[in-house]
């Protein structure tokens, strides 16, 4: 990993840590998140995986508007680190353990 890639990865981790903390406090069934990225095209390839403990909890979160809130908050936190997602709604994915 190059020095530039390490800086980008650190920025992503800072942003997503804030998102994870919010999710754990406010959303029932949310467990953690992870990400994957190709550093050559961060804005297009960054995928954030939100992990829930059941499909029912994902559906409940969607109904209550928490999914869209997570996507928006993820975008905002990444923008603070100068990372802009090409299509946040497709780059944020929700799954179970």
Taking only the tens of pLDDT, the chain with its 97 residues reads: 899 999 999 999 999 999 999 999 999 999 999 999 999 999 999 999 999 999 999 999 999 999 999 999 999 999 999 999 999 999 999 999 8
- Which CATH number goes with the domain that contains 76? 3.30.300
Question: Residues near 13 by Cβ (< 8 Å), separated by ≥ 6?
Answer: none
| pTM (two decimals) | 0.95
Domain count, the chain: 1
- Looking at the DSSP bridge assignments, the partners of residue 92 are 48
Structural domain harbouring 35: 3-96
């Amino acid at each position: 990993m190059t020095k530039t890639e390490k800086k980008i990865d650190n920025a992503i981790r800072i942003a997503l840590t804030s998102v994870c903390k919010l999710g754990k406090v406010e959303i029932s069934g949310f467990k953690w998140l992870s990400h994957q990225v190709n550093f050559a095209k961060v804005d297009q390839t960054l995928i954030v995986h939100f992990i829930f403990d059941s499909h029912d909890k994902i559906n409940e979160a969607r109904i209550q508007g928490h999914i869209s809130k997570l996507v928006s908050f993820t975008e905002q936190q990444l923008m603070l680190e100068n990372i802009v997602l090409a299509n946040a709604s497709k780059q944020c994915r929700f799954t179970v353990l």
